[in-house]
Amino acid sequence: MGKLLLIGCGKMGGAMLDGWLTRGLAASDVIVAEPVEALRPRKPGLRTVASTPDVRETPEIVVLAVKPQTMDAALADLKRFASEGTVFLSIAAGKTLGYFASHLGATAKVVRAMPNTPAAVRQGITVATAAKGVSAAEKKRCQELLEAVGQALWVEDEALMDPVTALSGSGPAYVFLLVEVMAAAGAKLGLAPDMAMQLARATVAGSCELLRQSVEPAAQLRVNVTSPGGTTAEALKVLMADDGLQPIFDKALAAASRRSKELAG
């Protein structure tokens, strides 16, 4: 196997690197390019550089984990690898296959992926889409790299990356907001704010873990805690009403998906 070159070792890049090494990827097979010295990992056998012109050998895969706004600058030097058959795996939000083709050349092998922040605890989910020239074996290799931080799925139609971004990319924020609004609602009913937050946080975190471990559908887990005529049923009448959570989420995800499309240009 050739070298893996990681561009950017911030929150996402760092989480992916940890996942790869934990899963047995040899540190000597990875080169990390990261301008911020404090973020450059120090691990036996792992080579780090401040900037990519210092990398002479052609990597098998370049993982692009820089912010979208610094992508142009990063690609200016990396373009030289595109004609050598290197696969580019990008996790940058809103950077399309067309964008990469215009910067790296129309025949560049590019995989565009959208991970999410639970990747930091290896419970992420990533959706990826590949440019035409990427082989099944190269997709499999990218899949292995993405699975080091959670699950990975593929879509053929790149347009689906907008709703994916709206659902799973931005989704962790909706869950954290749920904790905030549950805590605020509890406080309004008389609980001390600290206690309300502790209850809301533990309830959402515990329920997420239950969901993760269970094979039952989410709807069944909901039914399991809803006794007929009880307190949960009373709350769900409000949350599941015609003007309850569903229309709000329909509106929120549509807005996020629209924004994802706009950002992609």
218 in Cβ contact with 211 (< 8 Å): yes
Torsion of CA 13, 16, 21, 23, to 10 degrees: -170
Residue 124 CB, nearest distance to ligand NAP (Å)? 9
Residue nearest to ligand NAP (CB): 10
Work out which of 117, 203, 207, 232 binds ligand NAP, going by CB under 6 A. 117
Angle between helices 97-104 and 71-82 (to 10 degrees): 60
Tokens at 13, concatenated:
């890049």
Is residue 31 at the binding interface for ligand NAP, with CB under 6 A as the rule?
no
116 in Cβ contact with 172 (< 8 Å): yes
Residue 108 CB, nearest distance to ligand NAP (Å)? 17
Work out which of 25, 27, 93, 101 binds ligand NAP, going by CB under 6 A. 93
Please, which residues bridge with residue 113 across strands?
Answer: 128
Work out which of 23, 28, 35, 83 binds ligand NAP, going by CB under 6 A. 35
Work out which of 16, 31, 55, 74 binds ligand NAP, going by CB under 6 A. 74
Residue 228 is which amino acid?
Answer: P
Nearest to 94 by CA among 119, 112, 106, 107: 112
Considering the complex, state which of residue 32 and residue 134 has its C-beta at the smaller distance from ligand NAP: 32
Considering the complex, state which of residue 53 and residue 247 has its C-beta at the smaller distance from ligand NAP: 53
Kindly identify the residues of this chain, within the stretch 161-190, that bind ligand NAP according to CB under 6 A: 169
d(CA 91, CA 112): 6
Q: Decide: helix, strand or coil at residue 170.
A: coil
Residue 60 is which amino acid?
Answer: E
Is residue 12 at the binding interface for ligand NAP, with CB under 6 A as the rule?
yes
Stretch that binds ligand NAP, among 9-17, 136-144, 156-164, 200-208 (CB under 6 A): 9-17
Contact footprint for ligand NAP (CB under 6 A): 7-8, 10-13, 33-36, 39, 52, 65-68, 70, 73-74, 91-93, 114-117, 169
